[in-house]
Amino acid sequence: MTQLAEAGFEDLRTALAGAVLAPGEDGYDDARRLWNSQHDRRPAVIAQAQTAEHVAAAVRFAVANGLEIAVRGGAHSMSGQSSVDDGMMIDLSRMNQVTVDPEARLARVGGGSLLRDLDAATQEYGLAAPAGMVGHTGVAGLTLGGGMGWLTRKHGLSIDNLVSVQIVTADGQIRRAAEDENADLFWAVRGGGGNFGVVTEFEFRLHEVGPMVNYGLLFWGLDQGADMLRMTRELAPALPREITVVPACLNAPPAPFVPEQYHFQPGYGLVVVGFGPPEEHEQTLEQIRTELPPLFEFATPMPFTALQQTLDEANDWGRWNYEKGCYLEDLTDDAIEVITEHVPRKNSPLSAVLLYPLNEAYSEVDDDATAFGGQRTDRYAMFAIAVSPVPELHEAETAWVRAFWDALQPHSMGIGSYVNGMAESDESRLRATYGDKYDRLVEIKRTYDPDNVFHRNANIKP
């Protein structure tokens, strides 16, 4: 604190209208807290920015004083990169304004907005931007890595619907990046993560969605896992574009709609979401019931905003988390054998495996159009997620994820994966993820961040 004061810390307070926290001050411990309890870091200073100018001042101060920078949006970074020990956390949580132009079908979204902020504002007009599946996730981190969710099959990734960004680069300059301005930077931020600056505003193209959608959850026991995954393999590619299915390996929740004898039982679920006519959704459910009758099911219309928060409790704050993922070209018999062998070995009832089918709109975007680290061919994105309610379980669950991932590698599309699903990364894995795009990203990094100021991310070194 003394060193910071001597370096002009009070000047930073002035530049940020007093929105600066140091250790021991009221609000500091709440502000430094992260979603993943595995990480407990203590920044030397937290800059709670409210404008792009605040962010620019914070970046310039940190660079001038040799402070390592971490950027906190929703604080959901699995690897804990949203904070830093003895450096500066730039906290964007106050920059959560969402402005919607319903006629142009555009939304301007502050860099600290959560998905639930975006959904609430856009759904007032029956519109939505493709985003993730957990309402308390930050828009920024999700989008910069790509952005997968319920609408990916129908409208593509979040980055496929991005029109422009406002970004503060390492030199403290506020820039606009779009197809017609700083186009190289705009290409890079669409999938290249937080390597190129602090995005203070996103502009998204919106689509008509909801306000009501149709939801279904069907559940099978562990002994039916292989049959369920093979059924999904045949079902998913042939579905209408308005239907999204996500298979999951999980424990049945103790929810009112789950028969009591199945509470916490491990097994396999299939979430079926319909954005089209209810009859189309019901036909899909009936097809599944006929082919493989589930132990139980739950189906209901619900608001799109509710759909976007169905996984919020299962992904709540205050747990110890770890994740690894990969791409699967298909749910082959060999991959299914590995999945069904390893799912019963998890220790925590909160741990899960999710499989996102990526096709339709996802595959219609040219692979070179964005920096996204995954080719635009039909595939599944697999995520093995360790979630421990107590720290004593964390080591065993992490070992379970790693063993699972290792066993699946011979049947995957290589060590590359979705960058937002990396709890840890190294250059070899990032090169495998980005492929031929990696060298182009390095050159753009050299242009906008030659000293690697923004390195607390899936880092592309200049």
Task: State the DSSP string of 316-368.
Answer: -SSBEEEEEEEEESS--HHHHHHHHHHGGG---TT-EEEEEEE-GGGGGS-GG
Q: Which domains does the chain have, with CATH numbers?
A: 2-91 (3.30.43.10), 98-209 (3.30.465.10), 212-421 (3.40.462.20)
pLDDT tens for the chain, 462 residues long, are 445 444 567 889 998 988 999 999 999 999 999 999 999 999 999 999 999 999 999 999 999 999 999 999 999 999 999 999 999 999 999 999 999 999 999 999 999 999 999 999 999 999 999 999 999 999 999 999 999 999 999 999 999 999 999 999 999 999 999 999 999 999 999 999 999 999 999 999 999 999 999 999 999 999 999 999 999 999 999 999 999 999 999 999 999 999 999 999 999 999 999 999 999 999 999 999 999 999 999 999 999 999 999 999 999 999 999 999 999 999 999 999 999 999 999 999 999 999 999 999 999 999 999 999 989 999 999 999 999 999 999 999 999 999 999 999 999 998 888 999 888 888 889 999 999 999 999 999 999 999 999 999 999 999
In sign, the C-alpha dihedral spanning 10, 138, 266, 380 is negative
Nearest to 158 by CA among 327, 366, 422, 361: 361
The verdict on whether omega for the bond into residue 43 sits within 30 degrees of 0, i.e. cis, is no
Q: Which residues pair with 328 in a beta bridge?
A: 380
pLDDT at 307: 97
Round to whole Å and give the CA distance between 438 and 81: 21
What DSSP element (H or E) covers 203?
strand 198-205
pLDDT at 414: 86
Taking CA atoms, 182 is separated from 56, 349, 367, in Å, by 18, 47, 20
Instruction: Quickly count: other Cβ atoms within 10 Å of residue 145's Cβ.
Output: 26
Residues contacting residue 88 through CB under 8 Å, at least 6 positions apart? 43, 44, 45, 46, 47, 58, 61, 62, 67, 68, 69, 70
Q: Which pTM does this prediction carry?
A: 0.95
Q: Sheet containing 88-91: which strands, arranged edge to edge?
A: 20-21, 45-48, 88-91, 69-72
The position carrying tokens 């079902």 is 235
pLDDT at 211: 96
pLDDT at 2: 44
Q: Sheet containing 174-178: which strands, arranged edge to edge?
A: 98-101, 106-110, 198-205, 162-168, 174-178
pLDDT at 247: 98
